Structure 1
């Protein structure tokens, strides 16, 4: 498949049973689902990227061929976050659905400021109007914060519905960015007034959207985040840092203050002062940039000043998830101060990693239940977090196995992402899955 960052369409092809290449028909009148995303197509820099590609994966296996339009923010090969292996797998997934892929220019920098997000929303709307003009039914889905302004650019006569899926908000992730927060408020309000729906990825996010962003209850649809249950089966192992092989704690996520990594380092310092013997810490507080951020330098300084036995990993790799299956893993720590959902506990549950230690922040309370699927502590409270870490390090092998079993059961019962997405499609866009008479024949 050829990527055209200027916005030209890329019709993907399939072969008929006779070997003849079948091209998508021009001016098709099939129903369409269009998806705009900024992370998860050309690479993955956070849990959002995993969730976004899982969303595409389910659509490609659920919709009839030719009904999916994807508008990813184009990431050039020169960008540190461009992952050739990830791209190859993404293209294999979308080819299965004979999807049309129309990259929109802007790059990762476009998502960092309001002006860039405005430009992305405008370009996505232009693509949607062009590609969906002749469809009998269509819906545009904007995945995450950069597309919360799509409603600001939607016309009253645009021939498609709109679903906005905020995986977080700036009120949670960067509360100091008041300009962006005002833009999100305005985008959501305008979108809803024009008939858009807003997806809640957790009970916590539903309350947050209704109470903080004033999204009317009738406009919010439940679309709980989750995992594809087969997603971890073939993940290759990444080599463990040498000092972790005798046993380690794992903490990973975006290198931003709301992830609470400094609270974890403070907790480990307290335990060291108390004389607790601690395993090696693997701290993957990551970004997609070439240079370390100020926050990453702060974490490095804390590791050094507190003399913590740790490996610090500043660059993201999807393969870090393979360490969740390591027999040397003693516990997974999620010390977030704010969390719209919390994907890492589910990754741990799927991989059989136990116990999970998490703060009682936002969506984490829906997956990590104290003494049942893990251990919990108050957010922003290093002393309470130290208590939970100590508790986790002293459980018996039998208790660990019980937590594994209960965690897996919770994952399968509540967070099967494929079942969730298909349920949404059946309820809100049944026309997208229905075959025409010609397709049935």
Structure 2
């Protein structure tokens, strides 16, 4: 097993996966791929963690032994986001490639504040220089927002090239945070000026990076996000909330305004006023914080004021994904106001969970095609979302099967119109 430190201190020696060996690695003169990540090694706090772990698995399958170096931001065992089962799975993945693991100090606090991200980027480049000094060729991959400042610390004589993979941006996730957005712009500009490449995880993100962050087209490479066939194998089941057993809608994601949960609650209230029966709602706007955030309290107040029959889950667990396989599931709702990619619809399709209702926000338009793979509504429009949910609730069993077929055939990234051969998933509710 990999040696994982349990306290605040990070051992200075290298940690080598394979037989529990801890010490200097002999193959330092081989080409290296270095992956720096803040989520997905010690646990998973969002879809980013799932995607990061999947990327590690892809690399371990593709690279010869000893070519992978992983630099996770260290999370203590006492941290609420530390998941021992998740760590064991990640260790199994990286062991297969004989990967070298070098934890970077910082903890989750390092990614919460701009100063922490800046210090983290400086530390990662220092560690990369130290460990790659003798490698004939090396590539440093920075996964997601906390590493978008790596270009500000890279030197012309550094022994590695740089690839940045923003799974989102602050412009999408927290547009009010102008300081962080400015830092991201500076970091991306510096990186590209130094010859780095920036990966686009969807067609939407490519346009966003080029048009909003002014990244030159030639500097953007396509690295489409997606799922591995093994992503849902052996997923431990979470107990279904008792009130959901008779039928439920599922909505889950990070507890941030860009996920649009307020619009969903407004939509369900509209349906209730109109006399439409709505199944129990399992609402999971989650964080790893011990207490509730202001946003979560606001959502709870809306649930109370509108008397919505729901189960409210505030703490994240990867096991919630197991409910996508539940026979009691009546629909999955993704009400995002902004979405770089949109992983949940793909997870629903992979689990055979339909219908899926999603907004036409960013990357969601590439997976949820209205009338083909699910039902779509305009973002920030509770009335349109209510209509889409109403259509989904009246879908026939035959149309559900058609949606499953449509999801399978409408799999090419960027498909936003109905494929000629794809069946439609129709519904026939009462008049709007």
Q: What TM-score do you get using the length of structure 2 for normalisation? A: 0.92
Q: Are the aligned partners of 2:375 and 2:392 in contact in 1 as well (CA < 8 Å)?
A: yes
Q: Helix, strand or coil for the counterpart of 2:284?
A: strand
Partner of 1:147: 147
What 5-or-longer segments of structure 2 have no aligned partner?
Answer: 415-432
Q: Are the aligned partners of 1:13 and 1:23 in contact in 2 as well (CA < 8 Å)?
A: no
**How far apart in 2 are the matches of 1:183 and 1:295?**
25
**How far apart in 2 are the matches of 1:28 and 1:66?**
9
**How far apart in 1 are the matches of 2:382 and 2:291?**
28
Q: Helix, strand or coil for the counterpart of 2:410?
A: helix
* 1:391-434 Cα distance to aligned partner (Å, 9 max, x none): 000010000011012213334x549xxxxxxxxxxxxxxxxxxx
Q: Are the aligned partners of 2:16 and 2:25 in contact in 1 as well (CA < 8 Å)?
A: no
Indicate how the Cα distance of structure 1 residues 216 and 261 shifts in structure 2: closer, same or farther if over 3 A, else same. Answer: same
* 1:91-146 Cα distance to aligned partner (Å, 9 max, x none): 11111111110111111011011110011101111111011111111100000000
Q: Are the aligned partners of 2:255 and 2:296 in contact in 1 as well (CA < 8 Å)?
A: yes
**How far apart in 1 are the matches of 2:403 and 2:233?**
20
Q: Helix, strand or coil for the counterpart of 1:302?
A: helix
Bigger relative CO (Cα 8 Å, ≥ 6 apart): 1
CA offset at residue 295 of structure 1?
0.2
Partner of 1:3: 4
Q: Helix, strand or coil for the counterpart of 2:307?
A: coil
**How far apart in 1 are the matches of 2:350 and 2:297?**
32
Aligned residues: 409
Matches within 5 A, 1:19-58: 25-26=25-26, 28-58=28-58
Q: Are the aligned partners of 1:24 and 1:98 in contact in 2 as well (CA < 8 Å)?
A: no
Partner of 2:316: 316
CA offset at residue 164 of structure 1?
0.1
Q: Are the aligned partners of 1:249 and 1:280 in contact in 2 as well (CA < 8 Å)?
A: yes
Q: Are the aligned partners of 1:37 and 1:71 in contact in 2 as well (CA < 8 Å)?
A: yes
Q: Are the aligned partners of 1:245 and 1:328 in contact in 2 as well (CA < 8 Å)?
A: yes
Q: Are the aligned partners of 1:31 and 1:137 in contact in 2 as well (CA < 8 Å)?
A: yes
Partner of 2:429: none
**How far apart in 1 are the matches of 2:373 and 2:199?**
26
**How far apart in 2 are the matches of 1:295 and 1:215?**
32
**How far apart in 2 are the matches of 1:391 and 1:46?**
29
**How far apart in 2 are the matches of 1:133 and 1:398?**
61
Q: Are the aligned partners of 1:352 and 1:408 in contact in 2 as well (CA < 8 Å)?
A: no
Q: Helix, strand or coil for the counterpart of 2:291?
A: coil
Partner of 1:205: 205
Matches within 5 A, 1:169-318: 169-318=169-318
Indicate how the Cα distance of structure 1 residues 30 and 391 shifts in structure 2: closer, same or farther if over 3 A, else same. Answer: same
What 5-or-longer segments of structure 1 have no aligned partner?
Answer: 16-20, 416-441
Indicate how the Cα distance of structure 1 residues 144 and 22 shifts in structure 2: closer, same or farther if over 3 A, else same. Answer: closer
Task: Judge which range, 220-229 or 6-15, deviates more.
Answer: 6-15
Matches within 5 A, 1:286-435: 286-411=286-411, 413-414=412-413
RMSD: 1.5
**How far apart in 2 are the matches of 1:2 and 1:23?**
11
**How far apart in 2 are the matches of 1:11 and 1:47?**
27
CA offset at residue 303 of structure 1?
0.5
Task: Judge which range, 161-170 or 223-232, deviates more.
Answer: 223-232
CA offset at residue 236 of structure 1?
2.2
Between Structure 1 and Structure 2, the one with more helix by share is: 1
